[in-house]
Amino acid sequence: MKMINVINEIQVGYKPTFYGNPLVKNSKEAKEIFQQNWDNEIAFIESFYLMLLSRKNQVIGVKKMSQGSIVGTITPIREILAIALKMQCRRNHNLP
C-alpha cells in the first residue's frame, strides 16, 4: 500500500496600498512608513509590525503581526517566516 503525504499550503493575501512601492534608504524612512500604518493604539499597548522589503529595499508590505498588553507582546516567529517565504521577501525590518 502506497502512503501519500498531504501537506497544507499557507495562503497569504495582500492588497497593495503603496503606489510606486517606496524605497527605504535608512531607518528614518522605515520609521515614517511604519507610522503611516500604525493604528491609534500605539501609545497605549504594545504591537509588533513587520515590513517586508524587496532586494532593492522597496516596500512589499507592512503587516501587524501581534498585539499584546501594556507590558509586551508575543511575536509569532513561525508566521513571520511563513509570510516572508511566501512573499519571496529578501529583507525585513521590524519595529516592536
CATH number, domain with residue 67 = 3.40.140.10
Q: Are 68 and 46 in contact (CB under 8 A)?
A: yes
Q: Is residue 31 part of a domain?
A: yes
Q: In this structure, what is the dihedral angle of CA atoms 64, 70, 72, 78, given to the nearest 10 degrees?
A: -30
Number of structural domains the chain divides into? 1
Please tell me the distance from the alpha carbon of residue 22 to that of residue 49, in angstroms, as a whole number: 17
Q: Is residue 41 part of a domain?
A: yes
| pLDDT tens-digit map of 49-79 | 888 888 888 888 888 888 888 888 888 888 8
Identify the domain containing residue 53 by its residue range.
27-95
Q: Which pTM value belongs to this model?
A: 0.66
Q: Is residue 1 part of a domain?
A: no
Q: Is residue 61 part of a domain?
A: yes
Q: Is residue 10 part of a domain?
A: no
Cell of 68: 499584546
